[in-house]
């Protein structure tokens, strides 16, 4: 039989027409040795690729052979059956018979026509899918031993090939902690860049995958242990893991250990990162750990760390940057002011001015237009004073001095308290996310002594924004007392403030209490405030919030609770990209009859997919043309959130037609979304940005435009130039994790649909576009950076032309035709006289006295070409502290590589601690800019002028 098989295989044209051998397999009289030889021969893909359809006809006979207990070569028979079923595209049966044989997860080397790799990979894929389906139906279900063995073989093969991330991904899909541990344990102790990237991706996956809290904590603990095994571990990344797990004591101990082992700069950098990325409650716990330390021989490093964790160094550095680089356009502000004719426009410009001057301490616009600002009445006056909180954000030592004219004097309230309430809100905004004991005590005292609604409203909002993420039970209870007064306006702010304080720390007691109050109260404003508050409290909880979300979504007869559930769902999974959550939100868009639910569900997709703009565009693209205006508005804002500060041209092309939408509120949303996307974009990175700026000014000045659209256009202008054109709205931090302050600030900003004062909260999402290098003594040295890109690429946008420049253009020299003739005649006469004196014949001809063809002559104009100089150099220099956009960070290097050693890459931006390397060279430091704030003259009200 072997001889016949060999002759058949070597026949010209290859092995074909295998009928004779198939009859041997079918015949019960054929010898076992002949059948074994045929089965082994046909397992070769070079033979089977041309004959599998003939083998398929006798599969029952081969399967019958497998049932025989005495057949010695069942392995060859089962693999042959598996391969034939693979050719028939019956992959489940192919897997079934492959498991019965000795299936090799390593494909054979390809020779000739056969390709074993395709078959092996398909069997592996089917095996893993089968394993997943069993585990997804029941995580505790027993997997067949042969399937478990095959999966273990697959894992072993990948680990031998150093494909660690494949195994980790498989562990996440199967929610198998053992697989993840096995893969991470296989990493070498000396982690190279590739392995460190694997650990970072593991962190990102576990934090955004929607896993249960217990599973997340165990995976993060594995990552920490792996980092610690490394001889030179990345302590910054380890402390980031401690933030995820809430392990404040270990984070504090890590910093202390770095200081005691002679690495204070690394400890300072970690402290800066903790203040930037951790919640206020976490930082407070770390500070309490430091406060319990005994005094050391050298207390200075510990004192510096405490100063950093208290936020003093960060606030000082960013305040100096904003003041030094302020590039707000005052001409544009004046032009908008002259075009405003309504109270809503007046209100919008006060808010926009606060956003434009965020952190710059420049209140020139208010000082120069006190009479105009004084026209503000009631809540407009509240916003006028509150805007000072944005302008002087970070100027904490002078906060009371700046706001002194507006704060209550001797417990007395001027009028209805709008001015005092705005001042209290401003005080909270100055200390946003940084409310220490003194600040919170001051706000609590105002909150307790408040006697009317505007004052309670302002003090509640200020209290909430200062205590953002602190999870303070006493602060929560103080605000709850305001909620229980059952007032509409102050109840709304109390609901929001309670959520801000408990941001990221929702528990059953808080949810049950606020849910019941939503049902009991008759004030829709209070219900909406509680909705926003619960959404903020649910931030980042993922699976842990599902019990509360389901309870809210099941309230079929209460649309307010359903919309609350949708907001909580969006915030709980913000930045995770969870496909199942997106599906649930789309289902609400399609099926829920309530407009608020539809709108928030659409916006929620933007929150969930804020880490994946391209996927968000796929989902949202079709909703921008939805028949329901609320869905279109939600689609616009979802694009703005997901593509914030990216200049994404595809998103812009979807939003541009919406500027002409028939619904005014949709046009409003489109303008806001476009401003979020085009924030800090130049004409180089986003060619449509300059045209959009002109379009905003045109919208504001149009007499027939809806006032709501004008309001949105003015706020959009403020968003475009936020922070003096030195900040941008970003939803994620430099490590790619969803930023709590940004997400919470955006959710509160969306509440501006109902209440205009909430637009101030977008400042929580404004991150300074800076690179500040400080030395080990926390001083800012004079350092030069080199940007490996053209300066025009990241330049400021061009300033607006003043009205005077537009009306009075440059006067051109005009020469009338008659003047030209007389001048030419005089020149000809002089030339003739000169030539006569020299004896030279006159050959000059006089100018023609009339124009040809009887046409009127035109004035001759002397013009000079305008030459615009453009920087064409491939690099340019920047001085510390420098304005560096997020997209620009990857191009930044130190001009002198031997001067300083930074503790983190410049690509992360923000504050970078660096060791001074050249001890022989004396350091020079940047002179601090210390703005001296002056208290304002109060905004007098004259209703007759209004």
- Determine the pLDDT at residue 855: 42
Give the CA distances from residue 131 to residues 122, 147, 168, 174, 438, in Å, rounded to whole numbers and listed in that order.
14, 7, 16, 8, 57
CA separation for the pair 118, 107 (Å, rounded): 8
- Residue 100's CB is within 10 A of a number of other CB atoms, namely 17
Q: How confident is the model at residue 476 (pLDDT cuts 50, 70, 90)?
A: very high
| pLDDT score, position 429 | 94
Q: Is 161 exposed, middle or buried (0-12, 13-18, 19+ CB in 10 A)?
A: exposed
pTM: 0.82
CA–CA dist 253, 492 (Å, integer): 41
Mean of the pLDDT values across residues 800-820?
57
CA distance 316 to 302: 19
Report the distance separating Cα 828 and Cα 401, nearest Å. Answer: 77
Please say whether the beta carbons of 475 and 439 come within 8 A. Answer: no
Contact 722, 677 (CB under 8 A): no
Instruction: Give 933's pLDDT tier (boundaries 50, 70, 90).
Output: low
Q: How many Å apart are CA 749 and CA 826, to the nearest integer?
A: 74
Question: Considering only CA atoms, which of 466, 399, 458, 460 is closest in space to residue 431?
Answer: 466
pLDDT tens string 319-347:
999 999 999 988 899 999 988 888 999 99
User: pLDDT tens, 458-469?
Assistant: 999 999 999 998
HEC string of 154-169? HHHHHHHCCCHHHHHH
For residue 774, what are the β-bridge partners?
A: 913
735: left (phi over 0), alpha (psi -120 to 50) or beta: alpha
And the tokens for 723?
């922070």
* pLDDT at position 45 over 60: yes
DSSP class of residue 513 equals H
Is the Cβ–Cβ distance between 348 and 710 less than 8 Å?
Answer: yes
Alpha-carbon distance of 327 to 360, in angstroms, equals: 9
Concatenating the DSSP letter of every residue in 260-314 gives: HTT-HHHHHHHHHHHHHHS-HHHHHHHHHHHHTSPP-S--HHHHHHHHHHTTHHH
- pLDDT at position 934, please? 56
Q: CA 542 to CA 338: how far, in whole Å?
A: 48
End-to-end Cα separation, the chain, in angstroms: 108
- Write the CB contacts of 291 (distance below 8 Å, at least 6 apart in sequence): 306
Residues in Cβ contact with 150 at an 8 Å cutoff, skipping those fewer than 6 apart: 99, 103, 105, 127
Mean pLDDT of the chain: 84
Residue recorded with tokens 């379009």: 695
| pLDDT: which is higher, 258 or 186 | 258
Q: What pLDDT does 806 receive?
A: 54
Q: What's the rounded Cα separation, in Å, for the pair 759 and 770? A: 24
Helix (H) or strand (E) holding 322: helix 312-324
Phi/psi for 112 (5° steps) reads 70, -140
Single out the residue of 599, 611, 624 nearest to residue 573, CA to CA.
611
pLDDT (tens digit per residue) in 586-617: 999 999 999 999 999 999 999 999 999 999 99
Using a CB cutoff of 8 Å and minimum separation of 24, what contacts does 331-338 make?
A: 331/799, 331/800, 331/801, 331/802, 332/697, 332/717, 332/721, 332/799, 332/800, 333/365, 334/802, 335/697, 335/800, 335/802, 335/803, 336/697, 336/700, 336/714, 336/717, 337/369, 337/372, 338/803
Q: What is the pLDDT of residues 643-660, one digit of tens each?
A: 999 989 999 999 999 999
State the sign of the Cα–Cα–Cα–Cα dihedral 900, 904, 908, 911. negative
* Omega before residue 881 within 30° of 0, cis: yes
Q: What are the φ/ψ torsions at residue 900 (nearest 5 degrees)?
A: -140, 150
Average pLDDT over residues 200-227: 81
Q: Which residues of 328-362 are buried (b: 16+ CB within 10 A; e: fewer)?
A: bbeebbbbbbebbeebebbbbbbbbbbbbbbbbbb
Taking 50 as the threshold, does the pLDDT of residue 457 lie above it? yes
pLDDT at 56 over 60: yes
**Residue 847, pLDDT score:** 40
Among 150-164, 313-327, 795-809, 898-912, whose mean pLDDT is lowest? 795-809
Per-residue model confidence as pLDDT tens digits over 890-918: 999 998 888 888 988 888 888 999 998 87
CA dist., res. 444 & res. 463, Å (int): 7
The H or E element that residue 710 is part of is: helix 707-720
DSSP string, 539-608: TT-GGGGHHHHHHHHT-TT-HHHHHHHHHHHHHHTTTS--HHHHHHHHHHHHH---HHHHHHHHHHHHHH
DSSP string of 433-502, one letter each residue: T---HHHHHHHHHHHHH--SHHHHHHHHHHHHHHTTT---HHHHHHHHHHHTT--HHHHHHHHHHHHHHT
Helices (runs of H) and strands (runs of E) counted in the chain:
46, 11
Q: The dihedral of CA 661, 668, 741, 510: what is its sign?
A: negative
Q: Outline where 774-877 has alpha helix (H).
A: 803-807, 817-838
Question: 3-state class of 409 per DSSP?
Answer: strand
DSSP code string of 878-925? EESSEE--GGGGGGEEESSTTTEEESS-GGG-EEEEEEE--TTSPP-B
Question: In the chain, how long is the greatest CA-to-CA distance?
Answer: 137
Q: Rounded to the nearest 10 degrees, what angle do helices 689-701 and 330-338 cross at?
A: 30
Q: Is the pLDDT of residue 781 over 80?
A: yes
860 pLDDT exceeds 70? no
3-class DSSP state for residue 530?
Answer: helix
DSSP 31: -
Lowest mean pLDDT among 177-191, 276-290, 507-521, 754-768: 177-191
**Closest C-alpha to 85, from 117, 114, 62:** 62
| Inter-residue contact 184 to 202 (CB < 8 Å) | yes
Q: How many angstroms separate the CA atoms of 223 and 206, rounded?
A: 11
d(Cα 652, Cα 319) in Å, to the nearest integer?
32
Q: Would you state the pLDDT for residue 942?
A: 42
Confidence of residue 95 (pLDDT cuts 50, 70, 90): confident
Residue 841 has pLDDT above 50, yes or no: no
């Amino acid at each position: 039989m072997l001889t016949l098989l060999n002759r058949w295989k070597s026949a010209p044209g290859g092995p074909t027409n295998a009928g004779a051998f198939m009859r041997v397999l079918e015949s019960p009289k054929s010898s076992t040795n002949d059948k074994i030889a045929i089965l082994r021969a046909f397992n070769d893909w070079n033979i089977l690729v041309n004959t599998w359809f003939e083998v398929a006809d006798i599969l029952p006979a081969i399967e019958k052979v497998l049932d025989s207990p005495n057949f010695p070569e069942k392995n060859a028979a089962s693999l042959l059956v598996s391969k034939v079923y693979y050719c028939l595209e019956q992959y489940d049966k192919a897997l079934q018979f492959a498991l019965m044989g000795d299936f090799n997860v390593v494909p054979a080397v390809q020779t000739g026509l056969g390709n074993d790799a395709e078959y092996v990979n398909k069997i592996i894929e089917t095996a893993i899918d089968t394993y997943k389906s069993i585990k997804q139906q029941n995580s505790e279900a027993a997997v067949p031993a042969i399937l478990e063995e095959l999966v273990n073989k697959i894992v072993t093969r990948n680990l031998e090939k150093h494909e660690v991330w494949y195994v980790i991904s498989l562990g996440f899909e199967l929610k198998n902690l053992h697989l993840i541990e096995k893969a991470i344990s296989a990493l070498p102790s000396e982690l190279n860049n590739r392995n460190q990237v694997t650990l970072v991706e593991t962190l990102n996956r576990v934090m955004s995958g929607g896993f249960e809290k217990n599973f997340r904590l165990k995976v993060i603990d594995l990552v920490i242990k792996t980092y610690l095994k490394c001889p030179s571990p990345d302590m910054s990344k380890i402390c980031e893991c401690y933030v995820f797990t809430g392990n404040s004591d270990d984070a504090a101990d890590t910093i202390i250990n770095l200081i005691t082992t002679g690495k204070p700069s690394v400890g300072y950098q970690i402290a800066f990162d903790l203040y930037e990325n951790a919640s206020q409650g976490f930082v407070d716990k770390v500070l309490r750990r430091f406060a319990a330390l005994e005094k050391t021989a050298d207390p200075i490093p510990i004192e510096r760390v405490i100063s950093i964790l208290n936020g003093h160094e960060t606030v000082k550095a960013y305040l100096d940057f904003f003041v030094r680089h302020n590039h707000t356009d005052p001409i544009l502000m004046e032009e908008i002011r002259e075009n405003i004719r309504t109270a809503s426009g007046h209100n919008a410009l006060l808010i926009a001015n606060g956003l434009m001057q965020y952190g710059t301490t420049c209140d020139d616009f208010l000082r120069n237009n006190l009479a105009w600002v004084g026209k503000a009445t009631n809540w407009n006056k509240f916003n006028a004073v509150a805007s000072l909180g944005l302008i002087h954000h970070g100027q904490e030592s002078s906060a009371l001095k700046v706001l002194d004219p507006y704060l209550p004097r001797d417990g007395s309230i001027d009028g209805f308290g709008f001015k005092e309430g705005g001042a209290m809100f401003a005080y909270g905004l100055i200390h946003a996310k940084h409310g220490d004991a003194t600040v919170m005590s001051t706000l609590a005292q105002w909150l307790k002594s408040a006697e009317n609604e505007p004052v309670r409203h302002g003090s509640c909002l200020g209290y909430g924004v200062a205590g953002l993420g602190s999870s303070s039970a006493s602060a929560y209870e103080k605000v709850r007392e305001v909620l229980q007064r059952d007032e509409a306006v102050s109840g709304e702010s109390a609901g929001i403030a309670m959520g801000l304080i408990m941001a990221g720390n929702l528990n059953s007691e808080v949810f049950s209490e606020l849910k019941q109050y939503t049902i009991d109260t008759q004030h829709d404003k209070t219900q909406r405030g509680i909705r926003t508050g619960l959404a903020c409290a649910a931030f980042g909880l993922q699976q842990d919030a599902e019990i509360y979300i389901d309870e809210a979504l099941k309230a079929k007869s209460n649309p307010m609770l359903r919309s609350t559930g949708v907001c909580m769902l969006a915030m709980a999974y913000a930045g995770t990209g969870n496909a199942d959550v997106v599906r649930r939100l789309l289902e609400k868009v399609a099926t829920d009859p309530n407009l608020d639910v539809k709108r928030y569900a659409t916006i929620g997709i933007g929150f969930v997919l804020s880490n994946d703009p391209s996927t968000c565009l796929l989902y949202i693209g079709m909703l921008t043309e939805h028949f329901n205006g609320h869905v279109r508005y939600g689609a616009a804002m979802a694009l703005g959130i997901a593509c914030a500060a990216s200049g994404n041209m595809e998103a812009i092309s979807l939003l541009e037609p919406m500027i002409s939408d028939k619904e005014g509120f949709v046009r409003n949303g489109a303008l806001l979304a476009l401003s979020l996307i085009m924030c800090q974009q130049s004409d180089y990175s986003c060619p449509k940005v300059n045209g959009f700026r002109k379009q905003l000014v045109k919208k504001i000045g149009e007499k027939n435009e809806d006032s709501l659209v004008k309001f949105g256009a003015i706020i959009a202008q403020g968003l475009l130039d936020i922070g003096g054109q030195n900040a941008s709205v970003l939803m994620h931090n430099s490590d790619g994790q969803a930023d709590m302050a940004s997400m919470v600030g955006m959710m509160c900003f969306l509440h501006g649909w109902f209440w205009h004062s909430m637009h101030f909260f977008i400042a929580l999402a404004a991150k300074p576009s800076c690179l500040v290098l400080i030395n080990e003594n926390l001083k800012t040295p004079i350092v030069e950076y080199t940007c490996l890109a053209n300066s025009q690429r990241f330049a400021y946008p061009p300033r607006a032309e003043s009205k005077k420049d537009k009306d009075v253009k440059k006067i051109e020299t005009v020469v009338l035709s008659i003047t030209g003739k007389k001048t030419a005649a005089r020149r000809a006469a002089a030339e003739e006289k000169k030539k006569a004196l020299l004896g030279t014949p006159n050959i000059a001809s006089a100018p023609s006295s009339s124009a040809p063809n009887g046409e009127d002559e035109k004035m001759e104009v002397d013009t000079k070409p305008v030459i615009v100089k453009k920087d064409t150099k491939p690099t340019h220099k920047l001085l510390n502290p420098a304005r560096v956009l997020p997209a620009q960070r990857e191009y930044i290097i130190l001009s002198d590589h031997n001067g300083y050693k930074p503790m983190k890459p410049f690509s992360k931006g923000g504050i970078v601690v660096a060791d001074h390397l050249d001890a022989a060279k004396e350091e020079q430091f940047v002179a601090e800019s210390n703005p001296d704030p002056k208290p304002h003259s109060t905004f007098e009200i004259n209703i007759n002028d209004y």
